[in-house]
């Protein structure tokens, strides 16, 4: 049995003129609205115990409306939502706090509304106070709190009792970095204990890191449902393939004459190169095509394994089907499960922020060089070519997650990135007998 079932759910907001017709409608009278605007329509999915679900979409796609219906603060206009468990929803940290009451008093009030007894709240109070970490302000009126203090108390009380379903809607974005890390530690603990997580955020890094499934809402419809890496690619495709562009993670342009023997000609050899992934996500507005790539490390082309901290060269060849006054080449490196590690572009790192122009039929090879200061593992490289100013880039061609890179290393650090730390002693220790 699913923990949450959403079946053909829709939500419409209606206007009435005069307004008394709205009240008549509440009492069962059939009154037609003056205006009807559907925010969500035909939404269906199921969530099972222990899943971590991300919900993504542009502003206005209906994400928060969907969560409010799941949490019970809004009723669907059509369809059904069935919940088999207890929900804790953080739609806005501190929402509903009485500013004249103290933090402690608001905890009693908020937890009481969640259905917990005074005895249960009292038993949990030391942990709530300790997690919030606001000291003596816990017994001061909330009206003198900073927004960060209210956030701390709000999250502490919302997570004082482990729920079956835990909903977070962008709420952690207002907290400081240390507090966010602490919150995600608790969220991860809940997940290990069997809690289902539903997370709404615009941070694709958080989605990939914390979720194993993603729902993508677009214009009130459920467009896609699948693994984070694939759905985030579809989302970015939709987000950036229109002409309302923003700079995305995209390093420096040179004509790579020294690799012409490897990447000569105008043939499209991209798909035949070692490391190519047929699961790549290829998209763009057109006007340029990425035909070939080369990875070179330690004087070896297309190495099967690259040693950590090796200086590595990445080349990709582009043919332009039209002239462009301002082009930008970019790269993006991800972990194998989709976490963004590094991205840059030719404009950002070139000397003098140079502007590159091309003519129709030009073939240019772009080169990026950096040290692969990563731990052992598998990584995904993406290439892209765009035109226009940096604040309004138009993607001509993107080849996302197209090349698999394998890193090996010496056993000299833990984690994901090698910061090449140095060690020394600043004073001697003298033993006196």
Q: 124 to each of 45, 423, 427, how far by Cα in Å?
A: 34, 44, 47
Closest of 405, 407, 408, 409 to residue 274, by C-alpha: 405
Phi, psi (deg, nearest 5) at residue 205: -60, -45
pLDDT at 218: 92
- 50-64, 117-131, 223-237: least confidently modelled range: 223-237
pLDDT at 343: 94
| Tens-place pLDDT, residues 242-260 | 433 333 333 334 433 467 7
Residues 6+ apart with CB under 8 A from 177: none
Res. 148: pLDDT tops 70:
yes
Q: What is the mean pLDDT of residues 274-296?
A: 93
Residues 6+ apart with CB under 8 A from 411: none
**Prediction pTM value:** 0.68
| 54 conformational bin, left if phi > 0, alpha if psi -120 to 50, beta if neither | beta
- 314 - beta bridge partners? 295, 368
Tokens, residue 192:
């290990």
CA distance 160 to 121: 9
Phi, psi (deg, nearest 5) at residue 331: -135, 160
Give Rg (Cα) of the chain.
27
- By three-state DSSP, how is residue 293 classified? strand
Q: What is the mean pLDDT of residues 5-22?
A: 79
Closest of 214, 160, 154, 150 to residue 186, by C-alpha: 160
**What torsion, rounded to 10 degrees, do the Cα atoms 219, 224, 229, 233 define?**
-50
In this structure, which topology does domain 50-236 adopt according to CATH? Rossmann fold (3.40.50)
How would DSSP label each residue in 344-376?
EEHHHHSGGG--EEE-TT-EEEEEEEEE--B-S
* Secondary structure in 3-state letters for 130-149: HHHCCHHHHHCEHHHCCHHH
Name all contacts of 259-264 with Cβ < 8 Å and 24+ positions apart. Answer: 259/294, 259/296, 259/315, 259/365, 262/294, 262/301, 263/292, 263/293, 263/294, 263/315, 263/317, 263/365
Confidence tier at 316 by pLDDT (50, 70, 90): very high
- Neighbour tally for 232: CB within 10 Å: 26
pLDDT at 428: 67
Closest of 418, 396, 391 to residue 407, by C-alpha: 418
Q: What is the mean pLDDT of residues 17-30?
A: 60
Residue 102 is classified by DSSP as B
**H-type helices in 12-137, by residue range?**
20-26, 63-71, 103-113, 118-132
Res. 193: pLDDT tops 70:
yes
pLDDT at 250: 33
CA distance 420 to 425: 17
pLDDT at 251: 38
CATH number attached to the domain at 245-408: 2.70.50.60
Confidence tier at 240 by pLDDT (50, 70, 90): low
- 139-148, 283-292, 369-378, 424-433: least confidently modelled range: 424-433
Res. 228: pLDDT tops 70:
yes
- 32-46, 184-198, 287-301: least confidently modelled range: 32-46
Res. 394: pLDDT tops 60:
yes
Closest of 283, 248, 225 to residue 57, by C-alpha: 225
Q: What is the mean pLDDT of residues 103-117?
A: 91
CA distance 23 to 20: 5
* Residue position matching structure tokens 């925010």: 39
**Residue of 169 and 68 predicted with greater confidence:** 68
Q: What is the mean pLDDT of residues 378-382?
A: 93
Confidence tier at 65 by pLDDT (50, 70, 90): very high
| Tens-place pLDDT, residues 72-98 | 889 999 999 999 988 888 766 556 789
How would DSSP label each residue in 383-432?
EEEEES-GGG-EEEEEEEEEEEEEEE--SS--SSB--------SS-----
Closest of 255, 258, 267, 250 to residue 381, by C-alpha: 250
Percent of the chain at pLDDT > 70 equals: 86
Res. 281: pLDDT tops 60:
yes
| Tens-place pLDDT, residues 159-169 | 999 999 999 88
Res. 113: pLDDT tops 70:
yes
Res. 368: pLDDT tops 70:
yes
pLDDT at 168: 86
**CA dihedral sign, ordered 134, 136, 142, 145:** negative
Give me the residue spans of the domains in the chain.
50-236, 245-408
Looking at every residue in the chain, the average pLDDT score rounds to 85
pLDDT at 59: 86
Confidence tier at 408 by pLDDT (50, 70, 90): confident
| Tens-place pLDDT, residues 342-362 | 999 999 988 767 789 999 999
Confidence tier at 180 by pLDDT (50, 70, 90): confident
CB 266 within 8 A of CB 322: no
CA distance 70 to 43: 12
């Amino acid at each position: 049995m699913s923990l949450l079932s959403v079946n053909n759910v829709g939500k419409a907001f209606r206007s009435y003129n005069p307004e008394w017709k709205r009240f008549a409608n509440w009492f069962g009278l059939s009154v037609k609205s003056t205006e009807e605007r559907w925010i969500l329509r035909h939404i269906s999915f199921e969530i099972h115990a222990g899943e971590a679900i991300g919900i993504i979409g542009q502003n206005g796609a209906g994400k928060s409306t969907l969560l409010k219906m799941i949490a019970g603060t809004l009723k669907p206009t059509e369809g059904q939502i069935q919940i088999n468990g207890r929900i804790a929803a953080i739609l806005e940290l501190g929402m509903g706090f009485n500013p004249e009451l103290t933090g402690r008093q608001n905890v009693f009030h908020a937890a009481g509304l969640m259905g917990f007894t005074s005895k249960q709240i009292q038993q949990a109070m030391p942990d709530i106070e300790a997690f919030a970490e606001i000291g003596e302000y816990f017994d001061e009126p909330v009206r003198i709190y900073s927004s960060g203090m209210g956030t701390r108390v709000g999250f502490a009380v919302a997570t004082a009792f482990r729920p079956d379903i835990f909903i977070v809607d962008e709420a952690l974005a207002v907290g400081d970095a240390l507090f966010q890390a602490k919150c995600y530690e608790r969220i991860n603990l809940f997940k290990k204990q069997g809690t289902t997580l539903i997370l709404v955020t615009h941070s694709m890094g958080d989605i990939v890191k914390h979720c194993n499934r993603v729902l993508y809402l677009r214009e009130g419809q459920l467009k896609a449902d699948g693994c984070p890496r694939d759905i985030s690619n579809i989302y970015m495709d939709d987000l950036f393939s229109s002409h309302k562009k923003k700079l995305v993670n995209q390093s420096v342009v040179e004509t790579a004459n020294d690799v012409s023997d490897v990447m000569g000609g105008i043939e499209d050899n991209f798909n035949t190169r070692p490391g190519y992934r047929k699961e790549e996500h290829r998209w763009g507005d057109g006007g340029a095509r990425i035909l070939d790539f080369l990875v070179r490390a330690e004087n070896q082309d297309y190495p099967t394994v690259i040693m950590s901290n090796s200086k590595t060269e990445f080349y990709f060849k582009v043919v332009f089907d039209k002239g462009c006054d301002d082009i930008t080449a970019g790269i993006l490196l991800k972990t194998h499960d989709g976490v963004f590690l590094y991205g840059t572009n030719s404009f950002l790192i070139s000397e003098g922020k140079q502007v590159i122009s091309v003519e129709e039929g030009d073939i240019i090879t772009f080169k990026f060089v950096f040290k692969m200061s990563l731990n052992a593992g598998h990584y995904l490289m993406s290439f892209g070519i765009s035109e226009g100013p940096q604040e309004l880039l138009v993607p001509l061609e993107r080849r996302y997650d197209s090349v698999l890179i394998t890193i090996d290393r010496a056993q000299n650090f833990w984690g994901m990135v090698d910061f090449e730390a140095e060690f020394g002693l600043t004073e001697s220790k003298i033993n006196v007998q």
